[in-house]
Structure 1
């Protein structure tokens, strides 16, 4: 693909930025389902399914890059760099949305709703399960005390970890060399 402003071919980083923006928008739309899913449970299931779709979408994007921009050939290092950058750009975009949501919209809704659900569960379990529920309640109380900026950084770290786990398998699957005769 040629950049229209300079007639130079786009770089791997520029393509990763474009696909990362698409991935980030997907994550933002997916994130909207989380709080809404507390009132419409089917949307929580959709949120989970879309979350499981993220690595597949990442593979689709790196494969599109390989076929359209690299002539069907992509070595592991290029695939790894593209996938890593794509997820990094997506993480930056969704981090902004997370900050805006937790700073201006949430007002403790997610944490309070989860706490309410755990309190209801707590009275129907006993033994080890009750201890586990108490620990989750304690963790949520700590999470509720975080500022929107702290929540955003926590989610960035979580996204970096999970994307780090799926980057290598995605790059391995997307690697393709020309067949030699």
Structure 2
């Protein structure tokens, strides 16, 4: 099971890295924001696709809820580990505060200031400043934790949908033995 969870998790992790690569561009190009959202919505469907393939190809068409949940959770965990490498590389070598400064720019736009009620703007600014004070490894660990928890929770509905009782098949020898026993009686 781990072998297949790693293989499918690697594919899912590459998908997540490609999806994350679009995120910084979403601040300036609206199409990438839309594409990022669409790819995010595709994650559970891709998880279902991989879990169904595992059920049909490896488990001979049948899998219990627990087995499906463990497999799907492991798949998301392996995807999260691979994605964490991409997150670390981005925040350590590429970002240089770009995401935090982009959020601050958005918060200081005139239209946003008019829509914000009370201390919400100040709290958002504090959150962005806190985010910008984190080291790349701390940001990566936060995102890794979120991805693993999100994957374990997302695995529940996927496992419920994927579970299927094992098909009982009899080979020709078993059928002949059963027919002989029926004939003797």
Q: TM-score, normalised to structure 1's length?
A: 0.88
The 5 Å alignment of 1:21-170 reads 21-120=10-109, 121-125=111-115, 129-170=117-158
8 Å contact kept, 1:122–1:134? no
Q: 1:72 to 1:22 in 2, by over 3 A?
A: same
Which stretches in structure 1 are left out of the alignment for 5+ residues?
1-11
Q: 1:147 to 1:109 in 2, by over 3 A?
A: same
8 Å contact kept, 1:91–1:159? yes
User: Could you give the per-residue CA deviations for residues 94-130 of structure 1, whole angstroms, max 9, x where no partner exists?
Assistant: 000000000000000011001110111443235xx24
The 5 Å alignment of 1:11-30 reads 12-30=1-19
Pairwise CA distance, 1:36: 1.1
Which stretches in structure 2 are left out of the alignment for 5+ residues?
170-185
Moved segments of 4+, more than 3 Å: 178-181
Distance 1:160 1:132 in 2: 29
Distance 1:114 1:130 in 2: 19
User: Could you give the per-residue CA deviations for residues 136-160 of structure 1, whole angstroms, max 9, x where no partner exists?
Assistant: 1110110000000000001011112
Distance 1:154 1:177 in 2: 38
Match of 2:119, SS state, is helix
Match of 2:134, SS state, is coil
RMSD (Å) for aligned C-alpha atoms: 1.5
